[in-house]
Amino acid sequence: MTGIASVEQTTDNRTLLLQGAENETAPPPPLLPKKPSAKQRRKARAKNAIKGTPAADPRIKITDSPSLGCVYLGAEKSPHGAELVDPHDAFSDEEIEGMPVVYVAATYGRLHIWRDRKGSWFRTAGRISIRLRDGERVIQVALFDGADEHDLLWFNSAIELLRRGRRKNPEWVRIASDWADERTFALVFTSRSYVDPYTTKSDAAKVFVCTEKQCREQVHEVEDSHTLDTLTRSVGKNFDYEIDIVKYSHLPNQKWHVDVSGGEMAEATPEMIATFVNDLNWMSIECANANAKECTA
Ligand SMILES: [Zn+2]
């Protein structure tokens, strides 16, 4: 039924357009079918893809045809023609070692799976830059929506490589922009080797950048709890425990709560129990304070 209705509608529209055209001197515009938007194409691809493959995720952009825009290790220029440089020209090893790593949700760009000229698959899940942020020089990782735990590992190993010292082939470009100073850099090689996104299923946990103010983690796996504080103590050979102040991240309007887990708890003297109770009290007060802080905020 729906099919017939839409045919009629199309016919009606066409009639109307042609009628309108009779009174005009200019020829009617050709009736080309409207090209689907990139978003519509991603959605259609995801709908038809094998469940569990990256192709089934409509957030991910996939470029099937080999891309000429990629560069290989050892290149002298970035795909946009910028000179490749090494941040060690601008910073000492100690400065780079001391730079905090800040994870943010990317405000532009999309997770992209693409192929190089040889047909190999690659995956780009974000960007890394060295920049000033709130007056402090940081290494910033901007993650795209849909990034997973392996992407995170890849970014962390890229930072590790940077911290190991000067590389034989420079892999960074200087960012020239209004907001950037002369010591602002971006890593050019941000793609990792990947598998065929249409046939290979991925069970890698998705990650997201935490926006919970009191949480001490910057990035979580989906359904990970926020953590405010952790206390671990081993008070005797056979008595140890961990007390965490946590909050569920996958449910709305949650409060901080205390999570107690015991290791070996078989043998406690009254003094050990007193320490345990004292720790419990201490952590529950901190938990109550955290919740009170959020009520008044
Ligand atoms: Zn968190």
pLDDT one-digit tens code per residue, 204-215: 999 999 999 999
d(CA 73, CA 180): 26
Q: Does the pLDDT of residue 11 top 50, yes or no?
A: no
In a domain, 26, yes or no: no
- The CA-atom distances, in angstroms, between 53 and each of 45, 60, 201 are 11, 11, 4
Model confidence at 65, pLDDT cuts 50, 70, 90, reads: confident
Of 173, 208, 243, the residue at which a domain comes to its end is: 208
Q: Are residues 159 and 290 in the same domain?
A: no
Centre of ligand 1 to C-alpha 226, Å, is 4
Model confidence at 70, pLDDT cuts 50, 70, 90, reads: low
Q: Are residues 240 and 259 in the same domain?
A: yes
Model confidence at 2, pLDDT cuts 50, 70, 90, reads: very low
> Which of 230, 256, 226 has the alpha carbon at shortest distance from 243?
230
Domain that holds residue 84: 54-208
pLDDT at 119: 87
d(CA 27, CA 18): 10
Of 162, 186, 208, the residue at which a domain comes to its end is: 208
Of 177, 193, 208, the residue at which a domain comes to its end is: 208
| DSSP per-residue string spanning 83-119 | BPB-GGGTS-HHHHHHPPEEEEE-SS---EEEE-TT-
Task: Give the pLDDT confidence of 259-284 residue by residue, as tens digits.
Answer: 999 888 888 999 999 999 999 999 99
Q: Are residues 241 and 98 in the same domain?
A: no
d(CA 94, CA 87): 12
Give phi and psi for 226, each to the nearest 5. Answer: -75, 150
> Average pLDDT of 51-68?
89
Q: Report the domain count for the chain.
A: 2
Centre of ligand 1 to C-alpha 50, Å, is 32
> Average pLDDT of 58-86?
80
In a domain, 195, yes or no: yes
Centre of ligand 1 to C-alpha 273, Å, is 31
Model confidence at 14, pLDDT cuts 50, 70, 90, reads: very low
In a domain, 46, yes or no: no
Centre of ligand 1 to C-alpha 210, Å, is 5
Centre of ligand 1 to C-alpha 59, Å, is 23
**The pairing of beta strand 136-143 with beta strand 101-105:** parallel
Q: Are residues 267 and 133 in the same domain?
A: no
Model confidence at 19, pLDDT cuts 50, 70, 90, reads: very low
Q: Are residues 178 and 255 in the same domain?
A: no
Centre of ligand 1 to C-alpha 146, Å, is 17
Centre of ligand 1 to C-alpha 251, Å, is 12
Q: Does the pLDDT of residue 72 top 80, yes or no?
A: no
> Across the chain, what does the average pLDDT equal?
87
d(CA 216, CA 229): 8
Q: Are residues 229 and 244 in the same domain?
A: yes
pLDDT at 262: 85
Q: Are residues 173 and 229 in the same domain?
A: no
pLDDT at 297: 63
In a domain, 70, yes or no: yes
Place of tokens 């490589």: 161
Model confidence at 77, pLDDT cuts 50, 70, 90, reads: confident
In a domain, 16, yes or no: no
> Average pLDDT of 26-37?
76
d(CA 7, CA 21): 21
Helix (H) or strand (E) holding 191: strand 191-193
In a domain, 6, yes or no: no
Q: Are residues 244 and 106 in the same domain?
A: no
Task: Give the pLDDT confidence of 215-251 residue by residue, as tens digits.
Answer: 999 999 988 999 999 999 999 889 999 999 999 998 8
Q: Are residues 81 and 196 in the same domain?
A: yes
